[in-house]
A and B are shown apart, each in its own frame.
Chain A
């Protein structure tokens, strides 16, 4: 099984900050990685697919990069509505998720 390791598990930041979340996989998954945002009481929302493709309707302050085993999600200028939990998910085989990164208000 492919292990997914997200870091950090939680992060405190302020509106306007630049935020980076990392996802590392135990074996190469090329660029077969998606990123989701989840707010309390809601289902997740797709942000990025195939490591770097921005889903339609998602603000351009979100970006994804990486390939092989190391991937990042970056929020360039944090907005109030961005405080949520973020998950990476691989599509190489069984769709495992990372354990999540909780982004909190500093």
Chain B
């Protein structure tokens, strides 16, 4: 059974810092890895989707990488802003039904 872990569970940084969020998964037979953002009490916003054949994806200040062999993905946020404060979730996509297994999330606080 796939297990997804995110470290750290919480992170507080001053505005402007570059930061890295980590995601690890136990079953490397994934089809994709998706990163989401969730604001308190809200739904999930898809940030980046990395297919199993890809190494990384970029969108604006966000860059996500995937290393299937080591069971790891990282989300890099450049020049962080207070508006980036949210919980960031990674999810591994496995075989049947496009099922997503989520990590516990990293709660990010960017201080002005």
Answer yes or no: are A and B bound together in one complex: no
